[in-house]
Each structure stands twice: as C-alpha cells, then as structure tokens.
Structure 1
Amino acid sequence: MTQQTKGKASALFPLLIFILLFIGTGVLTKDFSNMPLNVAVIIAAAVAIFMNRKVKLAKKIEIFTKGAGHENIMLMCIIFVLAGAFSEVAKGMGAVDATVNLGLSLLPANLLMVGLFLIGCFISITMGTSMGTVVALTPIGIGIADQTDIPMALAMATVIGGAMFGDNLSMISDTTIASARTQNTSMSDKFKTNFFIVLPGALITALILWFITSGSHINQLEDYSYNLVKVIPYLAVLIVAILGVNVVIVLIGGIILAGAIGIIDGSYTGTTLLQAASQGVLNMEDIAIVALFIGGIIGIIQYNGGIDYLLHVVSNKIKSKKGAEFGIAGLVSVADISTANNTISIIMTGPLAKDIASKYNVDPRKSASILDIFAACWQGIVPYGGQMLAVAGLASISPISIMPYSFYPVLLGICGITAILFGFPRRKVKQ
C-alpha cells in the first residue's frame, strides 16, 4: 500500500478557528452577519501564518501565497468576477426579468423550484461543471425568488443541488475523470454504478421541492410580459456551455452579447454598460478575496501535515470490505471539508483509496463512485466551497442561510451511505 505519513493534528487549528468564528458566532448570536466571512478567513489566515515557529515567516508567507495562487483557486476567482459582470450586465438590460417572466408564464409557482432543479441537473450533466451551471442559473433563481414568496436561500440551494447532480455524474466532469482514472475503471462503468446509487436522491429532492413550494404564489397579480430577444443571453450561455465551451469564454461571450443587445435596444450607452460590468465585478470582489485566503490557509495546513493527519486517521481504522468503503468515503469527505474542492480532494485521496479497494476487494466501479459521491456531497454543503460562495455572493445572502435547504447534497450522502450498508448496486465483477 501507499505509505501515508501520520501528519499533525495541530496543523488543522486554523481551519478550526475559521469554522468556530464563522459558524460558531452565528449559532451563538443567531445572526451570521455578526461575523463577516472575510474577517473570519483573515483571522484564520493570520493564525495559520504565525503557527509553526520552526519555519521562517518568509517561508510561511511563500507557502500561503502559493496556495492562494493555485491554478484552481485563480480560475475560481476569474469565474467569480466574470460571473458578477455577466449577472449585472444581463440584469441591467432586462434579461433576468424577461427570463423569469417567461418561466412564470409557463409554470405554476409550485413547480418553479422543481423545474429549476431539473434544468440544473440537465445542464450540469451535459456541461460537466457545477461552477458553470451555478453561473448560468443563479440569476434566474434570484429572479424567481424576487417575484414569488419562495425564500432566496431555497432558490440558491436548488441551483447548487442541480449543479452537483451533474458534477458528480457527467462523463466530462473533472471529478468523474479523476475518480475513474485513480481507481483504474472506465468512466462509462463508473457512471452506470454511480447513477443507480444517486437517482433516488434526485427523485426525492424533486418531491421535497414540490411539497414545500406547493403553497407558493406569485407576488404580483399581473400579466407577466417578456421580450424573447432579452432571453437570448441566457439561452446562448446555456447552449454554448452545454456544447463544452470553456466557462471563461462562455462568460465573456455572455457579457458581450448582453451588452450588445442592451446598447441596441437603448438599455445601455457605452458608459453605462461599462459601469454595469464594473459594478458586477465589484459585487464579487469580496468572495474572490475569501477564495484566495482559503487557498492560502489550505496550503499551510497541507505543508504542516494537517491533510496527512486526516488521511492517516481514517485509513488506519479500516478492518473489512464494508469498512474499506466507509473508509474511502471518510477519506474523500475529510479532504473535501478541508480543501473545499471536490476535484482536488479526489486527486489527493484517489491513490490511497485504490490501495484500500485492492486490499479489501472493493469493485473499482464502486470505489470510484464513492469518491465522487462524497466529494460532491460535501462540496454542496460546506459554506466556504466555491459553489456556495458564488451563489451567496450573487444573491447577497449568507452561505449559512443556504445550508438548511441543501436537500440534494444531503440526500447524495445518504444514498452513498445506503449503497455501502446494503452493498448496492450488486453488479458482476468485471474480469
């Protein structure tokens, strides 16, 4: 088996500080705005930097900046600011109102969240990216919440749920690729196994959304008119993203298209268009900075042995095949909770999970599915994950307020646990 160092539990202290400050303060005061997310993450970063006196301060700052500057973190920040610009430009030219009014005209209020969830599932499974899905659907979810009595947090959680469905299953998702490759199985075999495990969770989520919004109504009793031309930016973003175009290109194209339509129909002048794009970027600056600090904190935690400690603790308790499957689930769970990145958590734990699966005769299709399921589960729940930060930033609400409505991510984890307990699905071992 791959050798796993014991690491140090004390290295996790900055993460503990962050959680206690951000979540603990909100729980104690019953108001999560009392501890702003950016302040909590800066304090945790300071704790991380000044730990481990054996390492020079200059070296620790270097480690922090390398973690903050990781390619995945930087890409996330770019997506954040471009998403903010697209959201604001599209809103200013009337795309949000037109799209929402179209939905309100076609669907009754009690089916809006079910429809939003199913559309999210479809888009994410075809795009293969939860961030792309979040970027595309969040403005629509915000518009629906504004025009109905549906809580904004519920609408944002529904967007995340649909996004995580496809992120977990899509054949072109980086998490599917990573989990299948590390477990030495084909992506199609992993998909088939994974799909039967999580399908009940998606169906139950749709039923829950229908039930809790069955009494919803539209706020204004009027004829909701819409201009189909103004819906084009969202349709274009969805279609191009589904075709597999890079999300950065999708967003830049969306900004240009929405801006052009706005100028043509008189919604914008050249100056007001630039101002709208600038305001959208400013709206997401805070979230981007938080992402950078989290990346730096994770870099120091990993350098000090915190991630190794978590992996060692989990892998050291495995004694049976079922225990091995729970161990793999535990490994990727603690990695994702610590890094807030499902792809990175799979890449980190995949080799060790493969060793465990081989030793205890776990089907590689099952071990790959477990890795992806539990990484997606926690990624859709942790309030400091990229998806949660993105929707919270665009909706101007606390990510903590979204967590109680995280039906699909929670059910995803429950489906994974059930599959382990009952040995489901029972498929013939491939020779």
Structure 2
Amino acid sequence: MKNDIKKGNPFALLPLGVFLVLFVGSGVITGDFYKMPALVAFLIAGGVALLFNPKVSFETKLNEFCKGAGDSSIILMIIIFLLAGSFSSVAKAMGGVDSTVNLSLSILPSNLLVTGLFIIGCFISISMGTSVGTIAALAPIGLGIADKTSIPVALVLGAIVGGAMFGDNLSIISDTTIAAVRTQGCELKDKFKVNFLIVLPAAIITAILLTVVTSGYSIDLAGNNEFEFIKVVPYLLVLIGALCGVNVFALLGSGILFAGIIGFVTNSFDVLGFIEAISGGIAGMYELSLLCIVIGGVVSLIKFNGGIDYILYFITSKIKSKKGAEFGIAALVSVIDLCTANNTIAIVAAGPLAKDIAEKYDIDKRKSASILDIFSSCWQGVIPYGAQLLTAAGVGGISPIEIIKYLYYPGLMFVCGILSIIFSSAIIRNVKSKKAA
C-alpha cells in the first residue's frame, strides 16, 4: 500500500509555514494573537502558493485556487454558516437567550449552582452552537454568584467555559460540527451520536467534580429569573429536530421562521427588526465564510503542488496501524488549533488531509469527524489566547491563566478522546448496534 503513495514535495507546504509565521509570530511579538487577522495571513499564504512552482503557468495555478475555493463542500458549508448565524441572531433578538438562561437558573437547587452553570452552559451552547456566545451570556451571572459567595471567580468561569465547549463540540449548528462533517462527508446526526458517546463521560465526571469542589461553600443566591417559555421553544425545536435527523437546511430555515414568528407575537421586534437580526447574523459570518473560501483555495494549491502527498507519505511512513492514523489526525488538528487559536479554522485546514488519511486506513467517517471536532475543541477551551478564555477573563476581570486550572471539562474531553481512539472499534460497534436495534 505504501508503495502506491507519492512522496510529494515538502516545499509545497511553504504557504502553511508562512501563515503560521505571520499569525503566531505576530502574536508572540505583540502579545496579542488577534493582531494579525487569520484571513489576512491566509491571503498572504495564498499569494505564496500562487508563486510556488514556476514551471506551471500562473493561470493554471489560479484556476486550481478557484477550483478549491469554489468546491461544493466549501460552498455548502458557507450556506450553513449563514443560516446558523441568522438563527442565532434572530433567537437572541427575540429574547431567547435571556429566557433560556433564566429558565435554567429557576429550576436549579441553590447548592448546585456552579454545577448547574456548567449544565446550563451545556444546554445553551448545544442550542446556540456558539461557545463565545454562551460564555458572554453566562459569565455575568457566574460573576454575580462569585460576588455573593466565597467561590473563586476563576472556578465559576471555568465551569461556564467547560459547558460552552460541550456545545461548541456537539451542537448541530456549531461551525465546528458543520466544518467537521462537511470535510469528512458524513451526516450531522451520525457524527453527533458518535461524538456524544465519547464526551458524555467527561461531562458527567465534570459535573461530579464541580459538585464536590464547591460542596464546602455556602450559597444563598436570590434574584429575579423571569422567563417566557415560548422563547425557549425555538432552541428546543432545533435540538430535537437535529437529533431526529431533519435536514440541516430545513431545520435552520424553519428555526429562523419560527423564532421570527415568536418575536412578532411577543412584540420583541417588528418586520424591520426581524430583517435586521437576520442581516446581523449573516454579517457575523462574513469573515469566517471568506476564510473558508481562501483556505479551500490554498489547500487546493498545496495539494496540487504535492504538499498533501508529502504529508500523507510522511504520516503513513510513521503510522503502523489504524489507531496510529487516528492519533495522527488528532495531532494534526491539535497543532493547527494551537497555532491559529480557532478550532473552526483548524478543522477546515486539517479536514481534507484527515479525510485522505481516514479513507486510506478505513476509518469511519463519523469517527474522523468526531476526532477533528473533539481535539480542536479541547485545545481551544484551554489556550489563554483563545476567544473563549479571553471573553470569560474579560468579564471576570482576571487573567485567563487563572481559569486554566479549573477547566475540568476540556481536560477530560481530551482524555476521553484519547480513550476513544484506543477503544475505537468498541465505540463504533456500540453505535451501530444501537442503530440496528
């Protein structure tokens, strides 16, 4: 089998190296890893890719770039991003986020509030599909709990970040989930089932740990947690529809429409407000959509010039088994996420190569998609220069470094990811048996 693999050209990977030097280098020098926009860095990397291999005409390379940028999987991914952004924006505009948060708080025992915040974070993030949005919604509440008790702010925020990363990894409308399934060619509901089975133990253990760690604190939190249940319904419908396997386009489209109707009925906005919310949600996805297009083009050129063949040759020369291939995919997406501080970018960049490795070593598509999402998300949830910890630390007025030691869920998600590779066959067989039943 290895004899059939082309050795490729390691120098074709230069554009990726240029991106990492620009993005990571600027972060190290300035101390701000968002000083250099990933889109700009990838555009420069694209220019380098177009200049590489002078024996091939510029027009041919440009056509190859456009072919990769306009790949059907990239375009479909972008459409889903735009629909997901619209749904989240409309649901938030009609008060869905506040009602969902307050509903959750109103039904939790006071002595389990920190554990409850983690569970609430899980529910909200899996419903909204955004970890940063979940943290922004819950962090002020968590800060209020910490202010009224002796519980460390970092501990409360760590629980919230953990819950946010649960949904970031699993949600049917999360951009990471969408990117993972689109690059691997599997169904959203199938990836969810495999992924959920892997990370569920991590969530359960995290809830137990938070309960034990906070058991010594006295909590007496009173407040006004008014909510309108009807405003929670759109999230529930999207979640239930996703679990039932409803087509993602129909699911998000109906979710936007239903959230809009509720907004009209409750006088949360008028027609113009509804349109403005949709527009704002779409606008919020512009940069990510453009980034996907550019990455698609750059990856296509790298593959055209032999870079992907070289990586495949290098990895397969080190891999001795199917488990080794799964560990290779995990390592690949982990390194890219640590360099880019964006798990969606990491998945989009690593996805094509991961698919090639998965096909070569007969790895289930659902499993390769889950590996991409799990390992990119667990690292994204602990890096102090990532948007998640920066958002939480900004609300709490503390250093993101202080939160890291309380990030139980991302750490346990990493452990569960490793164990899922070691016991890969058993997990896939278990999912198949449930499906057959």
Answer whether TM exceeds 0.5 for this pair. Answer: yes
Cα displacement string for residues 315-352 of structure 1 (whole angstroms, at most 9, x for unaligned residues): 2134xxxx425531344346656772476455311342
2:354 matches 1:340: no
| Aligned residue type for 1:38 | L
Query: 1: distance between equivalents of 2:226 and 2:201?
Result: 37
Q: Is the Cα–Cα contact under 8 Å of residues 79 and 248 in structure 1 kept in the other structure?
A: yes
2:161 matches 1:161: no
| Aligned residue type for 2:239 | L
Q: Is the Cα–Cα contact under 8 Å of residues 326 and 421 in structure 2 kept in the other structure?
A: no
Q: Give the secondary structure class of the aligned counterpart of 1:224.
A: coil
| Aligned residue type for 2:166 | G
Equivalent of 1:114, from 106, 118, 131?
Answer: 118
- Quote the residue 1:327 is aligned against: 324
| Aligned residue type for 1:350 | A
Cα displacement string for residues 217-270 of structure 1 (whole angstroms, at most 9, x for unaligned residues): 99x962110111221221222222222112222111111111111122222221
After superposition, the CA RMSD in angstroms is 4.6
- Quote the residue 1:278 is aligned against: 279
Long gaps (5+) in structure 1: 124-132, 180-186, 355-363, 384-388
The worse-fitting range, judged by mean Cα deviation, of 46-55 and 145-154 is 145-154
Q: Map 1:24-423 to 2 at 5 A.
A: 24-107=25-108, 108-116=112-120, 119=123, 135=129, 139-140=133-134, 142-149=136-143, 155=160, 158-162=163-167, 164=169, 201-207=202-208, 222-318=223-319, 323-325=320-322, 327-333=324-330, 336=333, 340-341=347-348, 344-354=352-362, 371=368, 374-380=371-377, 411-415=412-416, 417=418
Cα displacement string for residues 369-426 of structure 1 (whole angstroms, at most 9, x for unaligned residues): 975664344343576xxxxx9999x99x9xxx89969865664554454577799979
Q: Is the Cα–Cα contact under 8 Å of residues 9 and 309 in structure 2 kept in the other structure?
A: yes
Q: Is the Cα–Cα contact under 8 Å of residues 129 and 167 in structure 2 kept in the other structure?
A: no
Change (3 A) 1:34 1:349: same
Query: 1: distance between equivalents of 2:31 and 2:317?
Result: 38
Cα displacement string for residues 26-65 of structure 1 (whole angstroms, at most 9, x for unaligned residues): 2332212311222222222222222221222222121112
Q: Is the Cα–Cα contact under 8 Å of residues 10 and 310 in structure 2 kept in the other structure?
A: yes
Query: 2: distance between equivalents of 1:216 and 1:246?
Result: 46
Query: 2: distance between equivalents of 1:42 and 1:213?
Result: 47
Q: Give the secondary structure class of the aligned counterpart of 2:34.
A: helix
Q: TM-score, normalised by structure 1?
A: 0.70
Change (3 A) 1:89 1:117: closer
Tell me the percent identity.
Answer: 34
Query: 2: distance between equivalents of 1:61 and 1:215?
Result: 63
Cα displacement string for residues 168-216 of structure 1 (whole angstroms, at most 9, x for unaligned residues): xx9xx959x979xxxxxxx9xx96xx99876654544445666788899
| Aligned residue type for 2:16 | L
Query: 2: distance between equivalents of 1:377 and 1:284?
Result: 22
Q: Give the secondary structure class of the aligned counterpart of 1:34.
A: coil
Long gaps (5+) in structure 2: 144-152, 337-345, 381-385, 395-399, 430-437
Q: Is the Cα–Cα contact under 8 Å of residues 335 and 349 in structure 1 kept in the other structure?
A: no
| Aligned residue type for 2:99 | A
Q: Give the secondary structure class of the aligned counterpart of 1:33.
A: coil
Query: 2: distance between equivalents of 1:243 and 1:423?
Result: 25
Q: Is the Cα–Cα contact under 8 Å of residues 42 and 295 in structure 2 kept in the other structure?
A: yes
Q: Is the Cα–Cα contact under 8 Å of residues 370 and 416 in structure 1 kept in the other structure?
A: no
